[in-house]
Chain A
Amino acid sequence: MELTEHEQKMLSGEFGNAKKKSMEILVALGKIFGAKNMIPIKSVQVAGVSYSNLGEAGLEYLSELAKDGKVEVLTTLNPAGMDRENWRALGIPEDFAIKQNRVIEAFAKMGIQTTCTCTPYLIGNLPKRGDHIAWSESSAVTYANSVIGAYTNREGGPSALAAALTGVTPNYGMHLDENRKPDIHFKVEAKLKTLSDYGALSYFVGTHCKAKIPYLSGISNPTNDQLKTFSAGVVTYGSKPLFHVQGVTPEAAKYEPPVETITVTQKDLEDSYKALTGPGNDVDFVSIGCPHASIDELKKVADLLKGKKVKVETWIATARPTKKKADELGYSKIIEDSGAKFACDTCMVVAPIKGRFKSIATTSAKAVYYVSARFGMLTRIGSLEDCINAAITGKWKK
Protein backbone atom coordinates (compact mmCIF):
# COMPACT_ATOMS: atom_id res chain seq x y z
CA MET A 1 0.00 0.00 0.00
CA GLU A 2 1.16 3.51 -0.77
CA LEU A 3 1.21 5.65 2.34
CA THR A 4 1.82 9.39 2.58
CA GLU A 5 4.62 10.67 4.78
CA HIS A 6 2.11 11.64 7.46
CA GLU A 7 0.47 8.19 7.36
CA GLN A 8 3.92 6.56 7.63
CA LYS A 9 4.67 8.64 10.69
CA MET A 10 1.39 7.65 12.33
CA LEU A 11 2.23 3.99 11.60
CA SER A 12 5.72 4.25 13.07
CA GLY A 13 4.32 5.63 16.33
CA GLU A 14 5.54 9.20 15.99
CA PHE A 15 2.13 10.51 17.06
CA GLY A 16 1.51 8.07 19.90
CA ASN A 17 0.16 4.62 20.49
CA ALA A 18 -3.52 5.18 19.58
CA LYS A 19 -2.65 6.48 16.12
CA LYS A 20 -0.04 3.71 15.64
CA LYS A 21 -2.51 0.96 16.56
CA SER A 22 -5.15 2.56 14.37
CA MET A 23 -2.86 2.74 11.34
CA GLU A 24 -1.87 -0.92 11.85
CA ILE A 25 -5.56 -1.85 11.67
CA LEU A 26 -6.20 0.28 8.58
CA VAL A 27 -3.09 -0.91 6.72
CA ALA A 28 -3.98 -4.55 7.44
CA LEU A 29 -7.53 -4.02 6.17
CA GLY A 30 -6.19 -2.19 3.14
CA LYS A 31 -3.91 -5.16 2.37
CA ILE A 32 -6.71 -7.69 2.85
CA PHE A 33 -9.12 -5.85 0.55
CA GLY A 34 -6.53 -4.74 -2.01
CA ALA A 35 -6.62 -0.97 -1.38
CA LYS A 36 -3.88 0.96 -3.18
CA ASN A 37 -3.92 3.90 -0.77
CA MET A 38 -5.70 5.62 2.10
CA ILE A 39 -8.37 8.21 1.47
CA PRO A 40 -9.11 11.22 3.73
CA ILE A 41 -12.56 11.13 5.32
CA LYS A 42 -15.03 13.82 6.39
CA SER A 43 -16.77 12.07 9.27
CA VAL A 44 -17.08 8.87 11.29
CA GLN A 45 -19.91 7.05 13.04
CA VAL A 46 -18.59 4.61 15.66
CA ALA A 47 -20.53 1.47 16.65
CA GLY A 48 -19.71 -0.98 19.44
CA VAL A 49 -20.94 1.17 22.32
CA SER A 50 -23.27 -1.06 24.31
CA TYR A 51 -21.47 -2.54 27.32
CA SER A 52 -23.53 -5.71 26.88
CA ASN A 53 -21.67 -6.30 23.59
CA LEU A 54 -18.27 -4.82 24.47
CA GLY A 55 -17.76 -6.39 27.87
CA GLU A 56 -14.83 -5.66 30.16
CA ALA A 57 -12.27 -6.26 27.41
CA GLY A 58 -13.86 -3.80 25.02
CA LEU A 59 -13.93 -1.19 27.76
CA GLU A 60 -10.26 -1.85 28.50
CA TYR A 61 -9.30 -1.48 24.84
CA LEU A 62 -11.15 1.83 24.55
CA SER A 63 -9.59 3.13 27.77
CA GLU A 64 -6.14 2.23 26.41
CA LEU A 65 -6.77 4.18 23.18
CA ALA A 66 -8.21 7.11 25.15
CA LYS A 67 -4.84 7.56 26.92
CA ASP A 68 -3.36 9.41 23.94
CA GLY A 69 -5.93 9.15 21.13
CA LYS A 70 -7.85 12.13 19.74
CA VAL A 71 -10.16 12.02 16.73
CA GLU A 72 -9.21 13.95 13.60
CA VAL A 73 -12.70 14.44 12.11
CA LEU A 74 -16.33 14.88 13.20
CA THR A 75 -17.16 11.64 14.99
CA THR A 76 -20.49 10.57 16.44
CA LEU A 77 -21.50 7.54 18.47
CA ASN A 78 -23.97 4.69 18.05
CA PRO A 79 -26.62 3.87 20.68
CA ALA A 80 -25.50 2.58 24.07
CA GLY A 81 -27.07 -0.15 26.19
CA MET A 82 -29.22 2.28 28.16
CA ASP A 83 -30.84 5.71 28.32
CA ARG A 84 -28.20 7.84 30.09
CA GLU A 85 -30.80 9.73 32.12
CA ASN A 86 -33.83 7.46 32.28
CA TRP A 87 -32.10 4.08 32.83
CA ARG A 88 -33.65 3.29 36.19
CA ALA A 89 -37.21 3.67 34.84
CA LEU A 90 -36.32 1.32 31.98
CA GLY A 91 -35.19 -1.35 34.44
CA ILE A 92 -31.44 -1.26 33.75
CA PRO A 93 -29.30 -2.63 36.64
CA GLU A 94 -27.02 -0.12 38.39
CA ASP A 95 -23.75 -2.03 37.88
CA PHE A 96 -24.48 -2.13 34.15
CA ALA A 97 -25.11 1.63 34.18
CA ILE A 98 -21.73 2.30 35.83
CA LYS A 99 -19.86 0.22 33.24
CA GLN A 100 -21.83 1.74 30.38
CA ASN A 101 -20.97 5.25 31.53
CA ARG A 102 -17.27 4.36 31.65
CA VAL A 103 -17.47 3.24 28.01
CA ILE A 104 -19.08 6.53 27.01
CA GLU A 105 -16.50 8.53 29.01
CA ALA A 106 -13.66 6.79 27.16
CA PHE A 107 -15.19 7.79 23.82
CA ALA A 108 -15.73 11.36 25.04
CA LYS A 109 -12.07 11.58 26.10
CA MET A 110 -11.07 10.87 22.51
CA GLY A 111 -13.10 13.88 21.34
CA ILE A 112 -16.06 11.90 20.05
CA GLN A 113 -19.49 13.52 20.29
CA THR A 114 -21.36 11.05 22.49
CA THR A 115 -24.59 11.38 20.55
CA CYS A 116 -25.57 7.74 21.09
CA THR A 117 -27.83 7.47 18.07
CA CYS A 118 -28.07 5.27 14.98
CA THR A 119 -29.40 8.28 13.01
CA PRO A 120 -26.39 10.65 13.06
CA TYR A 121 -27.68 12.24 9.84
CA LEU A 122 -30.76 13.54 11.73
CA ILE A 123 -28.78 15.34 14.42
CA GLY A 124 -25.86 17.05 12.71
CA ASN A 125 -23.52 14.44 11.24
CA LEU A 126 -24.89 14.90 7.73
CA PRO A 127 -22.46 14.18 4.87
CA LYS A 128 -22.81 15.71 1.40
CA ARG A 129 -23.15 13.76 -1.83
CA GLY A 130 -19.73 12.40 -2.83
CA ASP A 131 -18.14 12.76 0.62
CA HIS A 132 -15.92 9.88 1.73
CA ILE A 133 -16.76 8.84 5.28
CA ALA A 134 -16.06 5.82 7.52
CA TRP A 135 -19.23 4.78 9.25
CA SER A 136 -20.31 1.75 11.17
CA GLU A 137 -23.97 1.03 12.04
CA SER A 138 -25.30 -0.77 9.00
CA SER A 139 -28.58 1.20 8.75
CA ALA A 140 -26.77 4.55 8.78
CA VAL A 141 -24.12 3.26 6.35
CA THR A 142 -26.86 2.19 3.94
CA TYR A 143 -28.75 5.48 4.31
CA ALA A 144 -25.55 7.50 3.75
CA ASN A 145 -24.53 5.52 0.65
CA SER A 146 -27.96 5.26 -0.90
CA VAL A 147 -30.11 8.23 0.10
CA ILE A 148 -27.33 10.80 0.53
CA GLY A 149 -24.84 9.47 -2.03
CA ALA A 150 -21.84 9.57 0.31
CA TYR A 151 -19.17 6.83 0.11
CA THR A 152 -18.59 4.43 2.97
CA ASN A 153 -17.85 0.79 3.58
CA ARG A 154 -19.74 -1.07 6.26
CA GLU A 155 -17.15 -0.58 9.00
CA GLY A 156 -16.98 -2.49 12.27
CA GLY A 157 -16.61 -0.61 15.56
CA PRO A 158 -12.80 -0.92 15.81
CA SER A 159 -12.11 -0.01 12.15
CA ALA A 160 -14.40 3.04 12.30
CA LEU A 161 -12.66 4.19 15.46
CA ALA A 162 -9.26 3.69 13.79
CA ALA A 163 -10.44 5.90 10.91
CA ALA A 164 -11.61 8.58 13.35
CA LEU A 165 -8.26 8.62 15.15
CA THR A 166 -6.27 8.96 11.92
CA GLY A 167 -8.67 10.81 9.59
CA VAL A 168 -8.22 8.23 6.80
CA THR A 169 -9.67 4.93 5.62
CA PRO A 170 -8.41 2.35 3.11
CA ASN A 171 -9.67 3.11 -0.39
CA TYR A 172 -11.62 0.04 -1.54
CA GLY A 173 -15.14 -1.34 -1.89
CA MET A 174 -17.90 1.27 -1.66
CA HIS A 175 -15.35 4.10 -2.01
CA LEU A 176 -14.87 3.19 -5.68
CA ASP A 177 -17.58 4.03 -8.24
CA GLU A 178 -17.09 0.76 -10.10
CA ASN A 179 -18.32 -1.16 -7.05
CA ARG A 180 -21.56 0.83 -6.71
CA LYS A 181 -23.36 -0.39 -9.84
CA PRO A 182 -26.72 -2.12 -9.29
CA ASP A 183 -26.92 -5.85 -10.10
CA ILE A 184 -30.59 -6.70 -9.77
CA HIS A 185 -33.82 -4.84 -10.59
CA PHE A 186 -36.85 -4.99 -8.26
CA LYS A 187 -39.92 -3.79 -10.10
CA VAL A 188 -42.27 -2.77 -7.29
CA GLU A 189 -45.93 -3.20 -8.20
CA ALA A 190 -47.12 -3.48 -4.59
CA LYS A 191 -48.65 -0.32 -3.13
CA LEU A 192 -46.54 1.13 -0.34
CA LYS A 193 -48.14 3.38 2.24
CA THR A 194 -46.94 2.88 5.80
CA LEU A 195 -43.52 2.67 7.45
CA SER A 196 -43.94 -1.07 7.90
CA ASP A 197 -44.78 -1.49 4.20
CA TYR A 198 -41.23 -0.28 3.59
CA GLY A 199 -40.04 -2.64 6.33
CA ALA A 200 -41.77 -5.58 4.66
CA LEU A 201 -40.33 -4.51 1.28
CA SER A 202 -36.85 -4.32 2.80
CA TYR A 203 -37.25 -7.92 3.98
CA PHE A 204 -38.32 -9.06 0.52
CA VAL A 205 -35.55 -7.19 -1.31
CA GLY A 206 -32.87 -8.12 1.26
CA THR A 207 -33.63 -11.83 1.23
CA HIS A 208 -33.79 -11.94 -2.59
CA CYS A 209 -30.74 -9.83 -3.45
CA LYS A 210 -28.26 -11.55 -1.07
CA ALA A 211 -24.85 -10.07 -1.97
CA LYS A 212 -26.12 -8.06 -4.96
CA ILE A 213 -26.85 -4.32 -5.08
CA PRO A 214 -30.57 -3.72 -5.65
CA TYR A 215 -32.14 -1.16 -8.01
CA LEU A 216 -35.80 -0.44 -7.32
CA SER A 217 -38.38 1.08 -9.62
CA GLY A 218 -42.07 1.83 -9.10
CA ILE A 219 -41.62 3.73 -5.84
CA SER A 220 -42.73 7.32 -5.87
CA ASN A 221 -41.95 10.00 -3.38
CA PRO A 222 -41.03 8.06 -0.22
CA THR A 223 -40.44 10.04 2.98
CA ASN A 224 -37.05 10.17 4.67
CA ASP A 225 -38.49 8.05 7.48
CA GLN A 226 -39.60 5.39 5.01
CA LEU A 227 -36.14 5.38 3.40
CA LYS A 228 -34.59 5.21 6.87
CA THR A 229 -36.51 2.07 7.81
CA PHE A 230 -35.92 0.54 4.38
CA SER A 231 -32.16 1.18 4.72
CA ALA A 232 -32.13 -0.61 8.07
CA GLY A 233 -34.04 -3.66 6.83
CA VAL A 234 -32.46 -4.18 3.43
CA VAL A 235 -28.92 -4.44 4.83
CA THR A 236 -30.07 -6.66 7.71
CA TYR A 237 -31.62 -9.25 5.42
CA GLY A 238 -29.25 -8.68 2.47
CA SER A 239 -25.63 -7.66 2.86
CA LYS A 240 -24.61 -4.81 0.53
CA PRO A 241 -25.00 -1.42 2.22
CA LEU A 242 -26.29 0.32 -0.93
CA PHE A 243 -29.47 0.49 -2.99
CA HIS A 244 -30.71 2.71 -5.80
CA VAL A 245 -34.29 3.89 -6.34
CA GLN A 246 -35.26 5.18 -9.78
CA GLY A 247 -36.21 8.86 -9.59
CA VAL A 248 -35.44 9.02 -5.85
CA THR A 249 -31.82 8.34 -4.85
CA PRO A 250 -29.00 10.51 -6.25
CA GLU A 251 -26.95 7.89 -8.11
CA ALA A 252 -29.88 6.00 -9.67
CA ALA A 253 -29.90 8.17 -12.81
CA LYS A 254 -26.34 7.02 -13.64
CA TYR A 255 -27.60 3.49 -14.29
CA GLU A 256 -30.03 1.60 -16.48
CA PRO A 257 -32.20 -0.92 -14.62
CA PRO A 258 -30.22 -4.20 -14.42
CA VAL A 259 -31.37 -7.06 -16.66
CA GLU A 260 -32.05 -9.54 -13.85
CA THR A 261 -35.52 -8.51 -12.68
CA ILE A 262 -37.85 -9.54 -9.87
CA THR A 263 -41.38 -8.15 -9.73
CA VAL A 264 -42.67 -7.35 -6.23
CA THR A 265 -46.42 -7.97 -6.09
CA GLN A 266 -48.95 -7.14 -3.40
CA LYS A 267 -48.87 -10.82 -2.43
CA ASP A 268 -45.08 -10.74 -2.01
CA LEU A 269 -45.54 -7.84 0.40
CA GLU A 270 -48.25 -9.71 2.33
CA ASP A 271 -46.05 -12.83 2.48
CA SER A 272 -43.21 -10.72 3.85
CA TYR A 273 -45.50 -9.45 6.59
CA LYS A 274 -46.37 -13.06 7.43
CA ALA A 275 -42.72 -14.09 7.57
CA LEU A 276 -42.01 -11.29 10.06
CA THR A 277 -44.99 -12.03 12.32
CA GLY A 278 -45.22 -14.71 15.01
CA PRO A 279 -48.31 -16.67 16.17
CA GLY A 280 -51.00 -15.43 18.58
CA ASN A 281 -52.10 -11.86 19.19
CA ASP A 282 -50.88 -10.98 22.70
CA VAL A 283 -48.36 -8.16 22.94
CA ASP A 284 -46.37 -7.31 26.08
CA PHE A 285 -43.83 -4.87 24.63
CA VAL A 286 -44.17 -2.16 22.00
CA SER A 287 -41.13 -0.43 20.63
CA ILE A 288 -41.02 2.38 18.09
CA GLY A 289 -37.84 3.89 16.74
CA CYS A 290 -35.61 1.43 14.87
CA PRO A 291 -33.75 3.33 13.49
CA HIS A 292 -34.25 6.12 16.03
CA ALA A 293 -37.51 8.03 15.57
CA SER A 294 -37.39 11.37 13.77
CA ILE A 295 -39.21 14.45 15.06
CA ASP A 296 -42.02 13.76 12.58
CA GLU A 297 -42.43 10.22 13.88
CA LEU A 298 -42.58 11.58 17.44
CA LYS A 299 -45.32 14.00 16.36
CA LYS A 300 -47.31 11.13 14.86
CA VAL A 301 -46.87 8.99 17.99
CA ALA A 302 -48.02 11.92 20.14
CA ASP A 303 -51.08 12.43 17.95
CA LEU A 304 -52.00 8.74 18.33
CA LEU A 305 -51.41 8.65 22.10
CA LYS A 306 -53.15 11.93 22.96
CA GLY A 307 -55.49 11.36 25.91
CA LYS A 308 -54.84 7.57 25.90
CA LYS A 309 -53.12 5.23 28.38
CA VAL A 310 -50.82 2.40 27.34
CA LYS A 311 -51.48 -1.03 28.81
CA VAL A 312 -48.10 -2.64 28.07
CA GLU A 313 -44.47 -1.50 28.31
CA THR A 314 -43.96 0.95 25.46
CA TRP A 315 -40.59 2.39 24.45
CA ILE A 316 -40.03 5.23 22.03
CA ALA A 317 -36.37 5.07 20.99
CA THR A 318 -34.88 8.29 19.69
CA ALA A 319 -31.79 10.49 19.74
CA ARG A 320 -31.59 12.78 22.75
CA PRO A 321 -31.48 15.99 20.63
CA THR A 322 -34.64 14.84 18.81
CA LYS A 323 -36.32 14.22 22.16
CA LYS A 324 -35.28 17.69 23.39
CA LYS A 325 -37.00 19.15 20.36
CA ALA A 326 -40.10 17.08 21.15
CA ASP A 327 -39.98 18.43 24.72
CA GLU A 328 -40.19 21.97 23.40
CA LEU A 329 -42.96 21.15 20.97
CA GLY A 330 -45.06 19.47 23.65
CA TYR A 331 -44.97 15.97 22.09
CA SER A 332 -42.94 14.46 24.95
CA LYS A 333 -45.49 15.39 27.60
CA ILE A 334 -48.34 13.78 25.62
CA ILE A 335 -46.27 10.62 25.09
CA GLU A 336 -45.16 10.38 28.73
CA ASP A 337 -48.63 11.16 30.09
CA SER A 338 -49.86 8.04 28.28
CA GLY A 339 -47.40 5.92 30.27
CA ALA A 340 -45.12 5.30 27.27
CA LYS A 341 -41.41 5.78 28.00
CA PHE A 342 -38.66 7.43 26.04
CA ALA A 343 -35.56 5.34 25.47
CA CYS A 344 -32.98 7.89 24.34
CA ASP A 345 -29.35 6.92 23.61
CA THR A 346 -30.41 3.27 23.26
CA CYS A 347 -32.99 0.92 21.74
CA MET A 348 -34.60 -2.49 22.04
CA VAL A 349 -31.81 -4.10 20.02
CA VAL A 350 -28.85 -3.12 22.22
CA ALA A 351 -30.41 -2.82 25.70
CA PRO A 352 -30.00 -5.81 28.09
CA ILE A 353 -33.68 -6.91 27.97
CA LYS A 354 -33.28 -10.64 27.37
CA GLY A 355 -36.06 -12.57 29.11
CA ARG A 356 -38.12 -9.52 30.09
CA PHE A 357 -40.68 -9.70 27.28
CA LYS A 358 -42.32 -12.42 25.20
CA SER A 359 -43.93 -10.64 22.32
CA ILE A 360 -42.99 -7.35 20.69
CA ALA A 361 -44.88 -5.08 18.30
CA THR A 362 -42.75 -2.79 16.13
CA THR A 363 -42.72 -0.93 12.81
CA SER A 364 -39.22 -2.15 11.98
CA ALA A 365 -38.10 -5.20 10.01
CA LYS A 366 -34.58 -4.77 11.41
CA ALA A 367 -35.86 -4.86 15.00
CA VAL A 368 -37.78 -8.05 14.20
CA TYR A 369 -34.56 -9.75 13.09
CA TYR A 370 -32.53 -8.80 16.17
CA VAL A 371 -35.11 -9.26 18.92
CA SER A 372 -36.03 -12.69 17.62
CA ALA A 373 -32.40 -13.76 17.10
CA ARG A 374 -30.93 -12.24 20.29
CA PHE A 375 -33.84 -12.39 22.70
CA GLY A 376 -36.11 -15.09 21.25
CA MET A 377 -39.15 -12.81 21.30
CA LEU A 378 -42.25 -13.32 19.18
CA THR A 379 -42.69 -10.43 16.78
CA ARG A 380 -45.44 -8.46 15.11
CA ILE A 381 -44.75 -5.80 12.52
CA GLY A 382 -47.20 -3.08 11.51
CA SER A 383 -47.81 0.62 10.99
CA LEU A 384 -47.42 3.23 13.74
CA GLU A 385 -51.22 3.07 14.14
CA ASP A 386 -51.14 -0.75 14.56
CA CYS A 387 -48.31 -0.54 17.12
CA ILE A 388 -49.84 2.24 19.21
CA ASN A 389 -53.18 0.39 19.15
CA ALA A 390 -51.36 -2.68 20.53
CA ALA A 391 -49.76 -0.50 23.21
CA ILE A 392 -53.19 0.69 24.35
CA THR A 393 -54.98 -2.67 24.18
CA GLY A 394 -52.22 -5.28 24.66
CA LYS A 395 -53.61 -7.06 21.60
CA TRP A 396 -52.40 -7.20 18.03
CA LYS A 397 -55.01 -6.33 15.44
CA LYS A 398 -54.09 -5.77 11.83
Chain B
Amino acid sequence: MKGRTIFGGKVEGEALVSTEPISFYGGVDPDTGKVVEKGHPLEGKSIAGKVLVFPQGKGSTVGSYIMYSLKKNGKAPAAIICKETETIVAVGAIISEIPMVDKIDISQIKTGDKVKIDADNAIVEVIK
Protein backbone atom coordinates (compact mmCIF):
# COMPACT_ATOMS: atom_id res chain seq x y z
CA MET B 1 0.00 0.00 0.00
CA LYS B 2 1.20 3.48 -0.81
CA GLY B 3 0.43 6.41 1.49
CA ARG B 4 1.99 9.71 2.48
CA THR B 5 5.21 10.21 4.44
CA ILE B 6 4.88 12.10 7.69
CA PHE B 7 8.28 11.07 9.10
CA GLY B 8 10.79 8.83 7.35
CA GLY B 9 12.53 5.59 8.34
CA LYS B 10 12.41 1.84 7.61
CA VAL B 11 10.96 -0.57 10.17
CA GLU B 12 9.50 -4.08 10.40
CA GLY B 13 7.27 -5.06 13.31
CA GLU B 14 4.08 -6.51 14.72
CA ALA B 15 0.87 -4.55 14.19
CA LEU B 16 -1.37 -3.34 17.00
CA VAL B 17 -4.59 -2.05 15.45
CA SER B 18 -7.17 0.29 16.98
CA THR B 19 -10.45 1.01 15.23
CA GLU B 20 -10.85 4.11 17.42
CA PRO B 21 -8.81 7.36 17.48
CA ILE B 22 -6.09 7.63 20.14
CA SER B 23 -5.51 10.51 22.55
CA PHE B 24 -1.91 10.38 23.73
CA TYR B 25 -2.52 13.08 26.38
CA GLY B 26 -4.47 11.32 29.11
CA GLY B 27 -5.00 8.20 26.98
CA VAL B 28 -1.51 6.64 27.05
CA ASP B 29 0.78 6.30 30.09
CA PRO B 30 4.13 7.81 29.02
CA ASP B 31 6.06 5.68 31.57
CA THR B 32 4.69 2.25 30.62
CA GLY B 33 3.42 2.73 27.06
CA LYS B 34 0.06 1.26 28.07
CA VAL B 35 -3.25 2.59 26.81
CA VAL B 36 -5.15 3.80 29.90
CA GLU B 37 -8.23 5.45 28.39
CA LYS B 38 -11.32 3.83 29.91
CA GLY B 39 -13.32 1.83 27.39
CA HIS B 40 -10.74 2.24 24.61
CA PRO B 41 -10.39 -0.88 22.41
CA LEU B 42 -6.66 -1.02 23.29
CA GLU B 43 -7.16 -0.36 27.03
CA GLY B 44 -4.44 -2.16 29.03
CA LYS B 45 -2.35 -3.01 25.93
CA SER B 46 1.19 -1.70 25.50
CA ILE B 47 2.06 0.19 22.31
CA ALA B 48 5.80 -0.07 23.01
CA GLY B 49 7.76 -1.41 20.02
CA LYS B 50 4.58 -2.11 18.02
CA VAL B 51 3.57 -0.85 14.62
CA LEU B 52 0.67 1.19 15.92
CA VAL B 53 -2.24 1.43 13.48
CA PHE B 54 -5.21 3.74 14.11
CA PRO B 55 -7.54 6.07 12.21
CA GLN B 56 -6.26 9.40 13.66
CA GLY B 57 -5.33 11.23 16.85
CA LYS B 58 -7.66 13.21 19.09
CA GLY B 59 -7.50 15.40 22.21
CA SER B 60 -5.04 18.02 23.40
CA THR B 61 -1.97 19.19 21.45
CA VAL B 62 0.04 18.27 24.56
CA GLY B 63 -0.28 14.75 23.13
CA SER B 64 2.69 15.51 20.86
CA TYR B 65 4.89 15.91 23.94
CA ILE B 66 3.56 12.64 25.41
CA MET B 67 4.79 10.86 22.26
CA TYR B 68 8.20 12.45 22.80
CA SER B 69 8.10 11.22 26.38
CA LEU B 70 7.29 7.65 25.25
CA LYS B 71 10.28 7.76 22.93
CA LYS B 72 12.61 8.99 25.69
CA ASN B 73 11.30 6.25 28.00
CA GLY B 74 11.84 3.55 25.37
CA LYS B 75 8.08 2.89 25.19
CA ALA B 76 7.26 4.48 21.84
CA PRO B 77 5.75 2.51 18.97
CA ALA B 78 8.29 1.37 16.35
CA ALA B 79 6.18 3.03 13.66
CA ILE B 80 2.77 4.63 13.19
CA ILE B 81 0.25 4.08 10.43
CA CYS B 82 -2.87 6.27 10.27
CA LYS B 83 -5.87 6.49 8.00
CA GLU B 84 -5.71 10.30 7.98
CA THR B 85 -3.47 12.10 10.40
CA GLU B 86 -4.07 15.40 12.18
CA THR B 87 -1.72 17.88 13.82
CA ILE B 88 -1.15 16.24 17.20
CA VAL B 89 0.11 12.85 16.04
CA ALA B 90 1.99 14.25 13.03
CA VAL B 91 3.89 16.74 15.18
CA GLY B 92 4.45 14.05 17.83
CA ALA B 93 5.94 11.64 15.26
CA ILE B 94 8.27 14.32 13.88
CA ILE B 95 9.62 15.56 17.21
CA SER B 96 9.99 11.97 18.47
CA GLU B 97 11.44 10.71 15.16
CA ILE B 98 8.98 7.83 14.83
CA PRO B 99 8.55 6.60 11.22
CA MET B 100 5.00 7.44 10.19
CA VAL B 101 2.83 7.01 7.10
CA ASP B 102 -0.81 8.04 6.63
CA LYS B 103 -3.50 7.76 3.94
CA ILE B 104 -3.43 3.97 4.28
CA ASP B 105 -6.46 1.67 4.17
CA ILE B 106 -6.00 0.44 7.74
CA SER B 107 -8.79 -2.15 7.45
CA GLN B 108 -6.23 -4.25 5.52
CA ILE B 109 -4.09 -4.63 8.65
CA LYS B 110 -4.95 -6.85 11.64
CA THR B 111 -3.44 -6.95 15.12
CA GLY B 112 -0.55 -9.46 15.12
CA ASP B 113 0.23 -9.04 11.40
CA LYS B 114 3.89 -8.62 10.50
CA VAL B 115 4.18 -5.25 8.80
CA LYS B 116 7.05 -3.77 6.80
CA ILE B 117 7.15 0.01 6.53
CA ASP B 118 9.33 2.07 4.24
CA ALA B 119 8.25 5.49 5.51
CA ASP B 120 10.78 7.28 3.28
CA ASN B 121 8.80 6.11 0.25
CA ALA B 122 5.45 5.90 2.14
CA ILE B 123 5.11 2.16 1.42
CA VAL B 124 3.40 -0.26 3.81
CA GLU B 125 3.49 -4.02 3.25
CA VAL B 126 1.66 -6.69 5.27
CA ILE B 127 3.83 -9.85 5.30
CA LYS B 128 1.51 -11.85 7.68
CB-based contact B65/A158 at 8 Å? yes
Task: Say what secondary structure dominates the interface of chain A.
Answer: helix
Establish whether residues A54 and B95, one from each chain, have CB atoms under 8 Å apart when the complex forms: no
Chain A residues within 8 Å of B86, by CB: 32
Are A58 and B69 neighbours in the complex by a CB distance under 8 Å?
Answer: yes
**Residues of B62-77 contacting chain A, CB below 8 A:** 62, 64-66, 68-70, 72-73
Q: How far is the CB of A188 from chain B (nearest CB, A)?
A: 31
A54 pairs with B62, CB closer than 8 A: yes
Which residues of B sit under 8 angstroms from A24, Cβ to Cβ?
A: 7, 94
With an 8 Å Cβ cutoff, the count of chain A residues facing the other chain is 22
Closest-by-CB residue of B relative to A56 is B69
Dominant SS among interface residues on chain B: helix
How far, in whole Å, are A29 and B4 apart by their CA atoms in the complex? 12
Asked if A25 and B95 sit within 8 Å, CB to CB, the answer is yes
Asked whether B23 is an interface residue with its Cβ less than 8 Å from the other chain, the reply is no
* Assembly CA distance A54 to B25 (angstroms): 10
| Residue A31 interfacial (CB < 8 Å) | yes
The reply to whether B85 and A58 contact each other, CB–CB distance below 8 Å, is no
Judge whether A32 and B65 touch: CB under 8 Å: no
Residue interface bits B27-56, CB-to-A below 8 A is 1, else 0: 000100000000000000000000000000
**Contact partners of A48 in chain B: CB under 8 A:** 61-62, 65
Write the nearest CB–CB distance from B80 to chain A, whole angstroms: 13
Q: With contacts A57-B30, A61-B68 known, is A28 near B94, CB below 8 A?
A: yes
Q: Which residues of B contact A159 (CB under 8 A)?
A: 61, 87, 91
Q: Do B94 and A61 touch (CB < 8 A)?
A: no
| CA gap between A97 and B4 in the complex, in Å | 42
Contact at B90–A32, with CB atoms within 8 Å?
A: yes
Q: Does A208 contact B (CB under 8 A)?
A: no
Inter-chain contact B95/A28, CB cutoff 8 Å: no
Q: Per-residue CB proximity of A37-64 to B under 8 Å, as 1/0?
A: 0000000000110000111111011000
Instruction: Give the top 6 A-B pairs by smallest Cβ distance, nearest first.
Output: A57-B69, A156-B61, A58-B65, A57-B68, A53-B62, A158-B91
State the A residues within 8 Å of B (CB).
Answer: 21, 24-25, 28-29, 31-32, 47-48, 53-58, 60-61, 136, 156-159
Q: A57-B65, A136-B61 are in contact. List 6 more A-B contacts (CB 8 A).
A: A28-B91, A31-B4, A32-B90, A54-B62, A57-B69, A61-B65
